[in-house]
Structure 1
Amino acid sequence: MNISDIDNGLFFLINHGTSNAIFDRVMPFITAKGYLLIIPYLLYVVYRVYQRQRTKDRLKALGLSLSSVLWGFVLSAFAFLLSDWLSNELKHIVMRIRPCNSLADVRLLVGCTKSYSMPSNHAANSFAATVVLYYFTRQYVSAVISIYPLAIAALVAFSRVYVGVHYPSDVVVGAFLGTATALVIIVLFRYALSRYRIKPHLTLLFSFLFAISVFRIYYILHGPLDLSPDEAHYWEWSRRLDLSYYSKGPMIAYLIYAGTSIFGDTILGIRIMAVIFSALSSIYMFRLVNHMYPQQTESNGQLIALSSAILLQIIPMFAPFGVIFTIDSPFIFFWILSLYLFYKAINSQDSAQRFWLLLGISIGLGLLTKYTMAFFYICAFLFLLFSEKRHFLKSSKLYTALLISFIVFSPVIIWNFQHDWVTIKHTAGQAHVSEGLKLSFKNFIGFIGSQIGAVTPIIFVAMFYALFKLNGKGILQNSFLLYFSIPVLVFFLLKSIHGKVQPNWAMTGYLTGIIAFAKYFINEHRIMNNISCSLFPSPKKSCNFRMGAIAFGIGLALFVSVIAHYPSIIKLPPKLDPSSRLRGWKELGVEVSRIYDSIQDEGEVFILSDRYQVSSELAFYVKGHPKTYCVNTGRRMNQYDLWPDMNSDALKIRQNKQGINTINAIFVRIDNVDMPRNVAVAFERYEKKLFQVYDRGYLLREYSIFICYNFKGINTVIPEVY
């Protein structure tokens, strides 16, 4: 008899052998709503906490005890969510079929879903939550009563077998997983508590970053957003590593390659670096601010640092880049790292040379990420010129750092030399250089509106107020904040008069603005006291209306960031929902995969589009990650034009695979449109299929899918627009 036979035997022993009329009524309730049985215990614990306080300082003791219990409640909920996630991930690895779907003669008392069986989420979640509750509440109740939550968890686990939806081994593994999750959370909490007594602000920061990073990994795996077109395109770059690329430097491709080397060509493999770089950005923001304000008392200086680091995570302009991995995620990090190294370099004595060298490397890496890193040179020059540190303009250390940054950036120059300087042509096209002097009031207003929306109105106004109020005090640190903000923002503001400016182009101008905001409002004006005053009014407290508005502004920024992650909360139609660009691609990939499977027996199949965004999404979401192409039907140049086209690949296929003469294709275009003539004549015939994707009842996007037969060769047109 093997383990499977024993498991089946125990299943039928519980499912049939223990059956009775009482259990038939009680167990379905426990399996569905067992959590309700915990509520009396929670109320009893709160009552016992209040009753036991007989000390002289009763209110203080009561507060400490309630704090411990509340931590227990919060961490219990966190353990529940974490266990549920881990259980689901493990289920898809084990892929065990439920007994109610695989065995005959099962007494099924509840619905039997098609989800996998090992481990039991109910068992895992129950034990995760109740073990944490037991740990935090056991001191307030008797030993017998303290095990009540664990008994409920055991009942929930037993009920899953009794009602016929899990094997005994499923609930045993679930119980072990839940208990292990709870113990890890308890150990981490104890460690954080010990560290908090030594370094409270740093501990709070790392605890916050740990929690939000775990959430982001969960969101990447199970959230509603597909890869953005840019993410998919950069992933395509990572499959063809090079010194540089048509529109951007190579850093994004290298980082995605690193992520997919560990986690495979998956959405987590592509986006994991967004989680890492977002956390690193806050860590170095904290370090920068700590170094900038050493003359503050330790509490105040670290409060500014902590506030700045957390604001970076919740302001809508920056929050999405902790999940979506485009060039802006590492770019924000390299800008903040360069700020930190630059400030250290101009204020350090012993190891200044080391900081200048590291600064050059950091700026160079930033340039490999996004060319607007060049604004760092301008901001640094203006700061040095108009501050007491202007003597560094004559220092060889500064120019050594400049030279090192150019050396790090040199692969982009070499690549462009080899490719007719296409990046310069593209950048000139993005900047509308060929259009000459052109004024657009509409773009100007649109840019201002996008900045107010992305930063949120109150924080937007408060940042500028803080920047200029602090700079008026003539302190070096405050001038540093101003000169690394205003030049960037003013440039793009003026640029918006000439042509369209994307909302994220000026984002680095707000980084030191965040620090100014935290320094002026959160630290100097004690915003936390005013938040407390707003929540708990008292005649003895003087509430500051302006600071109440700032607190509301921070809350609004957090709310907008939450909505950006879950837009379905406010049920925006696709036309008003910016995140709609990140949905509907997976469904397209499934449909094209189905068509691909239906025609692949007839010969080789090419997959192509007339937009690089569609071609890249198809490369990722079509089964097997096939090579895709982007044909020119009058568009501007993109990276696909620099890679081998269909003609050259078709020739190789026919040469290497004897007897293969037929090459078919699937050509995808957005909207209900006709086949372009230059693509139509490349095939003997084609069929059109209209494919529509709906989201919450709205038409999200429609695609024209052309099934093309017998590729004859396509007339390659070199794009004239960059």
Structure 2
Amino acid sequence: MKKSIEQHTFIYLLAVHLFVVLLRCLWVLYGNIDLHTEEAQYWTWSQHLDWSYYSKPPMVAVLNYLSESLFGHSEFSVRINAIIFGFLTSIVTYLFTKELFKDKFTAFVASVLVYAMPFFQGAALFFSTDSPLLFFAIWAMYLGWMSITYDKWKYWILFATAMGLGYLSKYAMLFFIPSIILYLFLTDRKILSNKKLYISLLISFVFFLPVVIWNIKYDFIGFKHLAHLSGAVEHQPNPISRRLSKLLEYVSGQLAIISPLFLVYYFNAFKKNKLDKKAMYLWLPALLSFLMFLITALTKRSGANVNWTMFAYVGLPILLAHYIVQAKKIKPASILFCITIGLFLLATNMRFMDSVGLGNIFPVKIDPLKKMVGWQEVASSIDSLENTLDTERVFIATDSYHITSELRFYNYPKTKYFYANRGNRMTQFSLWDGIEQYENKNYTGIFVTKENLSNKEFKIQPERALPEDIAKAFDKNYTYHTHITYYRGKPVTQFHIYVLEDFKKLPTITVNY
């Protein structure tokens, strides 16, 4: 098989990766899975194009705008971005591996091993800021290597472009710079005196200027939010027990997203090649990123999100492929690969497993897809409720920007959906016109909140009391409605819906970053 792949690499490469693209497209079209709340939020941003946004740079919003312009309004127009970037990431992984090790078979294995990485699977199917980030990260690593190796202006300029587009995808790309500098310090210090390196970095920062200008306009709120996430401005007490808990959560999460079945291979690959310049170029960003966010997990009360390190792990499939081919571990690695893919297919197709009586393997309570069902239904229910009212002076407010984003997407092109921030952190909605524009204008408000029934053993709850601050914001009595979302035969989410008349004013509150 190795000889066959080396002889017909291009055909095998396209056949495998285009087949995966087809499967993903079919899953999006017929899988009956609504947008994740983050996907809906980023789509909402695309309806208000700007140079940047509160918590992220503008790339995700621009891509959503372009794909919707091409494909119309649908889940497919959002997720096709993730699918395309997933395909491109696999192709660049192949090209990078071939350049590093001059072996087409190793390159093919690396491009396929990408599919065994849980951090990649999610980003290649659900469209978030991580989808373009992973692509620009592997592209930047590839072009960085080409720049260091051949020292040609065309590679340095392309490296700057990849870095710049990565900055526009997610702030995390900035952490790639220290790993490049440290790598050069350890392996090739003469490059540190090469003006092309610094000119390329300067060019890359030109891409970032719109984000800086936007932050200046809004009192640096994006950077303040980033500082808050890092724990640099943490003021809350953080007891040792909580720190240890968050540390364990972080470490276990990191092991999970790089595919724990391959941990022995990772260890052996590092042990055997740790001082090799090519291997170091691949593992150093991962190690630095892991350690940097490990500090955040220890210092910040809420810990560090699992996905913050993902961009730095894009070189690991290449390191893994090189070891597997070098150590002649193709057969056992193939078994581990198939098990990993099988677990992923199992986790994303549990309705089928229920139909054949194997649903208890992965119960609803721990099924992450339960958060991605029912949004279209509840949006339709609220839209129908709005249509029964005898006034056009109506707005819909929720106590979650996630709910607001989903309602905006599924009731598009209606726009009177707002996030009523009642004391949570600032969001992008804080920078847009909110329900204050309807104060004292005789508007009816539909207020929506929800609770997770899987935390209550799937028991439907009685009417929830209307929050006092919301009640005071209106002048008259309200009517109560509820909507239950079911998944795999169980009630998983209950929406509490209140119709209130004559909106006055929501109390002013101070929110943090």
| Length-normalised TM-score, structure 1 | 0.65
- Residue 693 of structure 1 and its aligned partner are, at CA, apart by 1.2
- Residue 623 of structure 1 and its aligned partner are, at CA, apart by 5.5
Match of 2:38 among 213, 230, 236: 230
- 1:11-34 Cα offsets, whole Å, 9 max, x none, are xxxxxxxxxxxxxxxxxxxxxxxx
Tell me the residue number matched to 2:479. 687
Which one-letter code corresponds to 1:355 in the other structure? Answer: Y
Tell me the residue number matched to 2:380. 590
Structure 1's 627 and 404: CA in aligned 2 closer, same or farther, altered over 3 A? farther
Tell me the residue number matched to 1:293. 101
Structure 1's 198 and 457: CA in aligned 2 closer, same or farther, altered over 3 A? closer
| Structure 1 stretch displaced more, 454-463 or 328-337 | 454-463
- Residue 551 of structure 1 and its aligned partner are, at CA, apart by 3.7
Residue 490 (structure 1) aligned with residue 281 (structure 2): no
Supply the distance in 2 between the matched residues of 1:691 and 1:454 (Cα, whole angstroms): 35
Counterparts of 1:160-309 in structure 2 under 5 Å?
Answer: 199-294=7-102, 301-309=103-111
- Residue 198 of structure 1 and its aligned partner are, at CA, apart by 8.5
Tell me the residue number matched to 2:174. 374
Instruction: Confirm or deny: 8 A CA contact 2:5 2:12 kept in the other structure.
Output: no
Supply the distance in 2 between the matched residues of 1:453 and 1:402 (Cα, whole angstroms): 33
Tell me the residue number matched to 1:636. 425
Counterparts of 1:13-24 in structure 2 under 5 Å?
Answer: none
Structure 1's 197 and 376: CA in aligned 2 closer, same or farther, altered over 3 A? closer
- 1:498-535 Cα offsets, whole Å, 9 max, x none, are 231222111133222211111011x112233xx3xxxx
Counterparts of 1:290-689 in structure 2 under 5 Å?
Answer: 290-294=98-102, 301-349=103-151, 352-387=152-187, 389-435=188-234, 438=238, 439=240, 440-472=243-275, 475-499=276-300, 500-521=303-324, 523-528=325-330, 531=331, 548=332, 550-568=333-351, 569=353, 571=359, 572-599=362-389, 601-622=390-411, 624-648=413-437, 650=438, 662-671=442-451, 673-685=464-476, 686-689=478-481
Q: SS in structure 2 opposite 1:386?
A: helix
Supply the distance in 1 between the matched residues of 2:108 and 2:252 (Cα, whole angstroms): 29
- Residue 370 of structure 1 and its aligned partner are, at CA, apart by 0.8
Structure number, greater radius of gyration: 1
Supply the distance in 2 between the matched residues of 1:198 and 1:509 (Cα, whole angstroms): 29
| Structure 1 stretch displaced more, 423-432 or 365-374 | 423-432
Instruction: Confirm or deny: 8 A CA contact 1:602 1:662 kept in the other structure.
Output: no
| Structure 1 stretch displaced more, 265-274 or 331-340 | 265-274
Q: SS in structure 1 opposite 2:501?
A: strand
Tell me the residue number matched to 1:700. 492
Supply the distance in 2 between the matched residues of 1:501 and 1:199 (Cα, whole angstroms): 45
Q: SS in structure 2 opposite 1:242?
A: coil
Supply the distance in 2 between the matched residues of 1:418 and 1:343 (Cα, whole angstroms): 37
Instruction: Confirm or deny: 8 A CA contact 2:286 2:309 kept in the other structure.
Output: no
Counterparts of 1:102-181 in structure 2 under 5 Å?
Answer: none
Tell me the residue number matched to 2:458. none
Q: SS in structure 2 opposite 1:692?
A: strand
- 1:8-66 Cα offsets, whole Å, 9 max, x none, are xxxxxxxxxxxxxxxxxxxxxxxxxxxxxxxxxxxxxxxxxxxxxxxxxxxxxxxxxxx
Supply the distance in 1 between the matched residues of 2:113 and 2:37 (Cα, whole angstroms): 28
Supply the distance in 2 between the matched residues of 1:446 and 1:703 (Cα, whole angstroms): 30
- 1:391-419 Cα offsets, whole Å, 9 max, x none, are 11111101111111111001111111110
Instruction: Confirm or deny: 8 A CA contact 1:592 1:622 kept in the other structure.
Output: no
- Residue 488 of structure 1 and its aligned partner are, at CA, apart by 1.3
Q: SS in structure 1 opposite 2:270?
A: helix
- 1:635-683 Cα offsets, whole Å, 9 max, x none, are 11111010011222x37xx9xxxxxx54222211012643222322222
Supply the distance in 2 between the matched residues of 1:665 and 1:507 (Cα, whole angstroms): 41
Tell me the residue number matched to 1:132. none
Q: SS in structure 1 opposite 2:42?
A: helix
- 1:539-563 Cα offsets, whole Å, 9 max, x none, are xxxxxxxxx3x44322221122212
Supply the distance in 2 between the matched residues of 1:224 and 1:493 (Cα, whole angstroms): 37
Which one-letter code corresponds to 2:287 in the other structure? Answer: I
Q: SS in structure 2 opposite 1:636?
A: coil
Supply the distance in 1 between the matched residues of 2:140 and 2:32 (Cα, whole angstroms): 34
Tell me the residue number matched to 1:99. none
- Residue 248 of structure 1 and its aligned partner are, at CA, apart by 0.3
Structure 1's 461 and 526: CA in aligned 2 closer, same or farther, altered over 3 A? closer
Supply the distance in 1 between the matched residues of 2:21 and 2:13 (Cα, whole angstroms): 12
Supply the distance in 2 between the matched residues of 1:413 and 1:292 (Cα, whole angstroms): 35
Structure 1's 311 and 625: CA in aligned 2 closer, same or farther, altered over 3 A? farther
Taking CA–CA contacts closer than 8 Å with sequence separation of 6 or more, which of the two structures ends up with the larger relative contact order? 2
Unaligned runs of 5+ in 2: 452-460
Which one-letter code corresponds to 2:212 in the other structure? Answer: I
Q: SS in structure 2 opposite 1:372?
A: helix
- Residue 470 of structure 1 and its aligned partner are, at CA, apart by 1.2
- 1:443-472 Cα offsets, whole Å, 9 max, x none, are 111112222223332213422331232124
- 1:232-265 Cα offsets, whole Å, 9 max, x none, are 0001100000010000000000001011011112
Supply the distance in 2 between the matched residues of 1:411 and 1:371 (Cα, whole angstroms): 13
| Structure 1 stretch displaced more, 698-707 or 197-206 | 197-206
Instruction: Confirm or deny: 8 A CA contact 2:445 2:503 kept in the other structure.
Output: yes
Instruction: Confirm or deny: 8 A CA contact 2:43 2:64 kept in the other structure.
Output: yes
Tell me the residue number matched to 1:192. none
